[in-house]
Amino acid sequence: IITILSSLAFYFLIFWLCNYVIISKLRSRGSGKVPPGPYQFPIIGNLHQIGSKPHRSYAKLSEIYGPIMSVRLGTKQTVVVSSAEIAREVLQKNDQICSSRGIPIVMHSFNHHNVSMVWLPASTRWRNIRKMSKEHIFSTHSLDVSQALRQEKLKELRDYVKSCSSSGKTVDIGEAAFTTSLNLISRTLFSVDFANYDTNSSQELRDIVWGVMKNIGTPNVSDYFPVLQPIDPQGVMRSTNSYFQRLFDIFDGLINERLLIRGGSSETKKNDVLEALLDENMKNESNFNINVLKHMLLDLFIAGTDTTSGTVEWAMAELLRNPEKLLTAKEELKRVIGENGVVQESDISRLPYLQVIVKETFRLHPAAPFLVPHKTNEDVQISGYTIPKDTEILVNAWAIARDEGTWEQAEIFKPERFLESEIDVKGNHFELTPFGAGRRMCPGLPLAYRMVHLMLASFIHNIDWKLEGEIRPQDLDMDELFGLTVQKALPLKAIPTCGQNTD
Ligand code: HEM
């Protein structure tokens, strides 16, 4: 033990000295200066300053050190960006140079980082996988084809809320939204439902998805001191392995079953993503194979479920805290869709107030407050500073979307601010980038956009809600749990009363 400890101490000392020398050199080189930042302590750097809500801690630090700030977490150099102009420099002007990913060690599980659309650098391999996902899932044509399926899943959500209303049962809104997102994604990918509302069937998968998000986002000493990786002191690698194993077991079962069906002659082909990707595999072009397919399904599954359901839960929490806004949204739905009507995807454009509620939710509660970490491929000049190659860049989209210089009464939920505004969430306006921008921008945006609006409309159209436990709207707890995504810390629970005519 003494030998291990002394070699660790030696390693830390050497590292700290090298770092100190490099940073001092860069700082003293006029135009080559690195961004300012808080004092970096020996060995730990700024680790003690991250806290359990890093998006908030970094926002506070950037008020002191400026909108581009250097921090060091153990051995890892990171630059945090907290203004719209500098976010534009990273995500647009220097998009190519800043397009690699800062890969957390847990994403080495099952070698995921070498195959994953989320974690590969912006290489030809990454481009091929992304192109394929666009073609088979996210294109307007593919989304229009799978529209009926989403309507079916939303009807199930409304039926569930209706049944709770009849029996006076409380609805866990985040859980119901997660079950719906899960089935929307699993239906689109595999033509099967993974969960239903009346059992705990979605809870295991929700725990897995959140577990992965948490393992990616929360500080892991193995990322900051690579020498500790074999020990995995926090056990995050072990738990990620078991989460991935569980998902791969499910995917293997579904893929093998489908391959068997495809081998027979009686079945007609299914109209889902798995079928399309197995066809791609048969073509055997662009290195696509079953392993790549499995990792792609894992990415879509992890990236697509908790992000959408979390957004809907936050939107509902804001509406229940602001009953007059909820009423305005309900009146709009009644006027446009009719009391008995069912919202269709084509109706979204006719529901401007619903749209601004969603935008305002994205502003105050972006699912991934730092996007997914970017990393520089080479030295780059940003805002007059030199950012060395291999530096992780965190764009604090959460802080930018609450910047008092851009947003009047930034902390207040005020959907009306968008009614006369041109700002959208599609990566054109750097003051609001919940889906990122540039080449690494979220490819799932077109699907997420439809899912979030339709789920939210399904939760509010012709339904009244009362918070569980007689909580007053203004007292609703809005605390956050941080992972790669930010969840509501306490589940949102409310009792529905459905109008007579709810379909
Ligand atoms: C990447 C947000 C839904 C799949 C991202 C990024 C963000 C994001 C911020 C990183 C962008 C960057 O680093 O610059 C969201 C939000 C969603 C959502 C807020 C819902 C409200 C979805 C859905 C899917 C999906 C439904 C797929 C089913 C992905 C993938 C990536 C990604 C595969 C990685 C892309 C790459 O690195 O090339 N998302 N997302 N997302 N998202 Fe989403």
Please tell me whether residue 80 adopts helix, strand or coil conformation.
strand
Q: How many CB atoms lie within 10 A of CB 177?
A: 30
Q: Is the Cβ atom of 373 under 6 angstroms away from ligand 1?
A: no
Query: What is the band of 286 on the pLDDT scale with cuts at 50, 70, 90?
Result: low
CA atoms of 371 and 397, how far apart (whole Å): 7
Exposure of 111 by Cβ count < 10 A (0-12 exposed, 13-18 middle, 19+ buried)? exposed
Residue nearest to atom 7 of ligand 1 (CA): 435
Sign of CA dihedral 435, 437, 442, 444: positive
- Ligand 1 atom nearest to CA at 120: 37
Q: What angle do CA 217, 307, 460 make, to 5 degrees?
A: 145
CA of 300 from ligand 1 middle (Å) equals: 9
Closest CA to 179 of 157, 155, 208, 164: 157
| Percentages of the chain per state (helix, strand, coil), in multiples of 5 | 55, 10, 35
CA of 59 from ligand 1 middle (Å) equals: 22
Q: How many residues appear in the chain?
A: 503
Ligand 1 pocket: which of 442, 451, 456 to mutate (most atoms <8 Å of CB)?
A: 442
CA of 409 from ligand 1 middle (Å) equals: 28
pLDDT on residue 252: 94
Q: Once rounded to an integer, what is the mean pLDDT over residues 339-350?
A: 92
CA atoms of 267 and 457, how far apart (whole Å): 37
As a whole-number percent, the residues of the chain with pLDDT over 90 amount to 76
CA atoms of 478 and 487, how far apart (whole Å): 10
pLDDT on residue 30: 44
CA of 278 from ligand 1 middle (Å) equals: 23
Digit-coded pLDDT (tens) for 137-170: 999 998 988 888 889 999 999 999 999 999 999 9
Q: Which residue has the tokens 């209706």?
A: 162
Closest CA to 431 of 355, 363, 333, 335: 363
- Ligand 1 atom nearest to CA at 447: 26
CA of 471 from ligand 1 middle (Å) equals: 34
Strands (DSSP E) contained in 144-192 are: 171-172
- Ligand 1 atom nearest to CA at 301: 28
Ligand 1 pocket: which of 435, 455, 484 to mutate (most atoms <8 Å of CB)?
A: 435
DSSP 269: P
Q: How many CB atoms lie within 10 A of CB 234?
A: 16
Query: What is the band of 28 on the pLDDT scale with cuts at 50, 70, 90?
Result: very low
Q: Is the Cβ atom of 311 under 6 angstroms away from ligand 1?
A: yes
Q: In sequence order, what are the beta bridge partners of 392?
A: 78, 375
CA of 483 from ligand 1 middle (Å) equals: 15
Integer CA distances (angstroms), 71 to 44, 46, 67, 392, 403, in order: 11, 6, 12, 10, 21
CA of 340 from ligand 1 middle (Å) equals: 34
Integer CA distances (angstroms), 465 to 83, 222, 316, 321, in order: 38, 45, 10, 11
- Ligand 1 atom nearest to CA at 126: 38
Count the alpha carbons within 13 Å of 305 in the hemisphere toward its beta carbon. Answer: 32
Q: What is the ipTM of this complex?
A: 0.99
Digit-coded pLDDT (tens) for 408-445: 999 999 999 999 999 999 999 999 999 999 999 999 99
CA atoms of 150 and 453, how far apart (whole Å): 12
CA atoms of 190 and 270, how far apart (whole Å): 9
As a whole-number percent, the residues of the chain with pLDDT over 70 amount to 91
CA atoms of 178 and 197, how far apart (whole Å): 10
Q: Once rounded to an integer, what is the mean pLDDT over residues 480-489?
A: 93
